[in-house]
Amino acid sequence: MSPSSLGWLLCCCALLSPAAGYVLMSSVSWAVPNEVNEELDSASTEEALPALLEDPARPLRTRPKPPRAPPRPAAAPGMFSYRRERRPAPPAAPAAFGPAPRARLARSLAHANSWGCVAAVAARDKLQGLPFGSCLLVSDGPFNNGTGTPFFYVTARDPVVADLMKNPMASLMLPESEGEFCRKNIVDPEDPRCARLTLTGRMIMVTPEEVEFAKQAMFSRHPGIRKWPRQYEWFFMKMDIEHIWLQKWYGAVSDVSREEYFKAVPRKA
């Protein structure tokens, strides 16, 4: 070998000898001592490489940490620091509707409700003259033949019925508990926006000529009452309506005439 070739070879060795102590991993270089090379050759998983390649004299480079968000200002003394949610706007009042729509809504409530709250004047000694009420099953007729007149299937053993036998004046409240507005808007049945109908008048016994219709009205809407114990001596009553009161919004109560009420056609369910 000529002296010039030997010099060229020594020069190349001098340039390549530092690369023997490095291992390339994801474009990052770590200095590796010569005594670790054998351990790297025998390593079978990449999880072991960081421990083998770690050199305390040359720490690894790390990504810079993102800047921290500025601290939130402290709440003033005596105030809550939670985030306030924006409340939805209150519902707008419905447009005024005339006597005919009011009468139709009243007839619809009378026909749709299967129960109501009856209030009477107590005739018993301890409650003499005080208002006393109870919830009773009610029907104004079969599903396809509503009359607007509420019928009842009662017994004289009921305290309210016993009071009515002595003083027939009573009131009947029918809520829109299953109405369209309350159901769609998930409103409490006692919310004033859910319509409620109050009928006042005299509670009278059904005449023999009306007994058959009263049976159809009650038994078609409440089939289970056919099996009620007979020893309670059940009989039919109805309310002879004198006044109709309809509440549809906060505080407002409308007086519906009897003529408009009985002339109106209830809405279909």
Buried b (16+ CB within 10 A) or exposed e, 205-238: ebeeeeeebbeebbeebbeeeeeeeeeeebebbb
Residues 6+ apart with CB under 8 A from 155: 161, 232, 233, 234, 235
Strand 196-205 with 169-175, pairing: antiparallel
- Global pTM value: 0.63
Closest to 165 measured CA to CA, from 153, 178, 156: 156
Q: How far apart are CA 191 and CA 177, in angstroms?
A: 10
Helix (H, G, I), strand (E, B) or coil at 130: coil
- Which residue in this structure is represented by tokens 């007979």? 230
**What number of other Cβ atoms are within 10 A of residue 203's Cβ?**
23
- pLDDT string in tens for the chain (269-residue length): 565 666 666 665 555 555 444 444 444 445 545 554 555 455 445 554 455 455 555 555 666 777 777 776 665 555 544 455 565 555 555 555 678 889 999 999 999 999 999 999 998 888 888 999 999 999 999 988 999 999 999 999 999 999 999 999 999 999 887 556 676 777 776 777 788 999 999 999 999 999 999 999 999 999 999 999 999 999 999 999 999 999 988 877 899 999 999 999 988 76
What ranges do the domains of the chain cover? 99-263
What CATH number should be reported for the domain whose range is 99-263? 2.30.110.10
Q: How far apart are CA 206 and CA 187, in angstroms?
A: 37
Residues 6+ apart with CB under 8 A from 81: 75
- Which residue in this structure is represented by tokens 């005449």? 207
